[in-house]
Amino acid sequence: MSATDIQQLKDQVHENMQGAVTIVVLGASGDLAGKKTYPAIFSLLRNGLMPENVHITGYARSKLDRNEYVKRITAHLKDASEEQKNKFLEVTDYVSGQYDQDDSWKSLNEHLDKLEEKRGLKEGRRNRVFYMALPPSVFVTVARGLRKFVYTDKGHNRIVVEKPFGKDLESSTELAKDLGELFKEEEIYRIDHYLGKEMVKNILPLRFANMILDPTFCNKTVDNVQITLKEPFGTEGRGGYFDEYNIIRDVMQNHLLQVMSLIAMDKPAGNDPESTRDAKVKLLRKVKPIDIKDTLLGQYVANGDKPGYKDDDTVPNDSVSPTFAALVLYVDNDRWRGVPFIMKAGKALDTAKVDVRLQFRDVEEGLFKQAARNELVLRIQPGEAIYYKLNNKSPGLTYRQIVTDLDLTYKDRYKDMSIPDAYETLILDVMRSDHSNFVRDDELDAAWRIFTPLLHKIDREKIQPKPYPYGSRGPQELDDFVTRYGFKRDTKAPYEWPVQSVGK
């Protein structure tokens, strides 16, 4: 980032926070806080992207002494010098208390008041950000306690909430209603951390700042779109949570649907955050609820020394919870009518990758009718890259065509590149009061409408998922499934990457 970019961000943070903030991390003793929230805050602080007068108070039920607290919140700080850590530790402390007791919240509030006094914060600058790194079972109880006893009228308040936002349309609506009675929509920042990922943030500029791209994002040129999330590890240790939520609620209704809506939405009417969110909602409302016949569900089984999903003690022996799903979504508008959006996600697969693949239509007639299909791939992780698979004349005397690519691999192209963690970007956005990369309540509603009938059917009818071995590409039915929706994998044309031999 250039010095000008950094200064611009600093100015935005300063302007929006009047130079001061107290961040209260609820659930500070937990996994998410230790792995994501604290490292992100630390990194922003180290880069000078927090307000000058900042304090972070951790809050949770565990009775942690200072040493234990410090150990937990510094365990995941990467490349941090002792000096940087000490600077961070100077501005953080921990309060232990209950989530459902008025006295606990009153004590927390007194603690924060005293700190603000000591830090010399005048009225108007006593801003508070409540970061909920908590399980969904206590969301509303905590939000109530905060609203009643810790909400400030001497500055502004923000509440950051983490998924899951309900389990279906009904529970999500109830959660939205409960939260909406306590905090104003502009005070709520619902995190979907995929919206903080570099390549996901790049989708809108890539589409709408390039005249050669967006006009091709439509049913006249695109045959099918695949959005894939593969993880090479199982649900070990999270079986209890996962069994209730399954892969569809865990990563598809939220992360992958966010990616899909950015790929498919029309150009936002303006460049303010609400216009982007309006465009997403407009698109989501045109997506039809998923039909069970357009799905393939899987569950991993043991393979060698790798355990099966049901080998986890916290998973019931008769669980039918899918750990893999391929689902097809259709958008009922002029731009996309007829194009299948194939979403695939799974645990315990052969590799780690998240990408979007737009596969273009065949050349229909003439000399190049046999050509392989073009593909535009946006690799979200690991290793951000955009590549366009094209047909090209093989260099030399031959007229043979080969499949090759225009390749923008970030690490090769961008010097001194440093890509922040998604949480760092999103917490910075909270400081800048920018809601673009957060989920709005009506967006959630539209998202759940697409998935709820399918989820209810799976739960009610206990639909048996197909088994697949740990470490495989998924159920053996997968290749036929994607073929059925138009995906063509070209196996004739030799495609090699990164260096191609033209002698073949």
Give the interface with ligand BG6 as residue ranges (CB under 6 A). 193, 231, 250-251
Scanning 183-191, 383-391, 413-421, 427-435 for contacts with ligand NDP by CB under 6 A, the matching segment is 383-391
With CB cut-offs between 5 and 8 Å by kind, which of ligand NDP, ligand BG6, none does residue 219 bind?
Answer: none
Helix or strand run (H / E) with residue 254: none
89: which 2 tokens?
């530790």
Of residues 199 and 403, the one with the C-beta less far from ligand BG6: 199
Dist CA 25 CA 33 (whole Å): 7
Q: Does 390 bind ligand NDP (CB under 6 A)?
A: no
Dist CA 57 CA 324 (whole Å): 39
Q: Does 368 bind ligand NDP (CB under 6 A)?
A: no
* Nearest-approach distance from CB 194 to ligand BG6, in angstroms: 7
With CB cut-offs between 5 and 8 Å by kind, which of ligand BG6, ligand NDP, none does residue 113 bind?
Answer: none
445: which 2 tokens?
């509603």
Dist CA 222 CA 491 (whole Å): 20
Of residues 112 and 251, the one with the C-beta less far from ligand BG6: 251
Of residues 127 and 226, the one with the C-beta less far from ligand NDP: 226
Count CA within 13 A, CB hemisphere, residue 168. Answer: 11
Scanning 20-28, 136-144, 362-370, 405-413 for contacts with ligand NDP by CB under 6 A, the matching segment is 405-413
Scanning 124-132, 331-339, 361-369, 382-390 for contacts with ligand NDP by CB under 6 A, the matching segment is 382-390
* Nearest-approach distance from CB 217 to ligand NDP, in angstroms: 18
From the list 299, 257, 262, 236, the residue with the least C-alpha distance to 467 is: 299
Please pick, among 156, 193, 255, 435, the residue that the annotation labels catalytic: 255
Q: Is the preceding omega at residue 164 within 30 degrees of 0, hence cis?
A: yes
433: which 2 tokens?
């009061």
Binding to ligand NDP (CB under 6 A) within 437-476 occurs at: 473
With CB cut-offs between 5 and 8 Å by kind, which of ligand BG6, ligand NDP, none does residue 251 bind?
Answer: ligand BG6
Binding to ligand NDP (CB under 6 A) within 95-124 occurs at: none
Q: Does 489 bind ligand NDP (CB under 6 A)?
A: yes
34: which 2 tokens?
């230790």
Scanning 48-56, 364-372, 379-387, 430-438 for contacts with ligand NDP by CB under 6 A, the matching segment is 379-387
Q: Does 295 bind ligand NDP (CB under 6 A)?
A: no
Residue 401's Cβ-count burial label (10 Å; 0-12, 13-18, 19+) is middle
With CB cut-offs between 5 and 8 Å by kind, which of ligand BG6, ligand NDP, none does residue 231 bind?
Answer: ligand BG6
Q: Does 419 bind ligand NDP (CB under 6 A)?
A: no
| Number of residues lying near ligand NDP (CB under 6 A) | 16
* Nearest-approach distance from CB 485 to ligand NDP, in angstroms: 11
Q: Is 255 a catalytic residue?
A: yes
From 57, 226, 235, 323, residue interacting with ligand NDP (rule: CB under 6 A): 226
Interstrand relation of 341-346 and 324-329 (parallel, antiparallel or unpaired)? antiparallel
Of residues 229 and 287, the one with the C-beta less far from ligand BG6: 229
Beta bridge partners of 128: 22, 157
| CB of 348 closer than 8 Å to CB of 232 | yes
Of residues 74 and 202, the one with the C-beta less far from ligand NDP: 202
From the list 425, 435, 445, 487, the residue with the least C-alpha distance to 202 is: 425
Dist CA 122 CA 253 (whole Å): 43
Q: Per 3-state DSSP, what percentage of the chain is helix, strand, and coil (rounded to 5)? A: 40, 20, 40
Residues 343, 345, 350, 353, CA torsion sign: positive
* Nearest-approach distance from CB 348 to ligand BG6, in angstroms: 11
Q: Does 413 bind ligand NDP (CB under 6 A)?
A: no
Residue with tokens 């090759």: 404
Q: In what order do the strands lie in the sheet with 401-409?
A: 401-409, 385-393, 375-381, 353-360, 222-230, 341-346, 324-329, 295-301, 466-469
Helix, strand, or coil here: 375? strand
Instruction: Name the residue with the smallest CB distance to ligand BG6.
Output: 250
Beta bridge partners of 359: 224, 375
Rg, the chain, Cα only = 24
With CB cut-offs between 5 and 8 Å by kind, which of ligand BG6, ligand NDP, none does residue 445 bind?
Answer: none
Dist CA 59 CA 27 (whole Å): 6
Count CA within 13 A, CB hemisphere, residue 437. Answer: 26
Of residues 208 and 495, the one with the C-beta less far from ligand NDP: 495
Of residues 206 and 279, the one with the C-beta less far from ligand NDP: 206
* Nearest-approach distance from CB 426 to ligand BG6, in angstroms: 12
* Active site amino acids: 255
Residues in contact with ligand NDP by the rule CB under 6 A? 226, 228, 344, 357, 377, 383, 385, 387, 405, 407, 409, 473, 479, 489, 495, 497
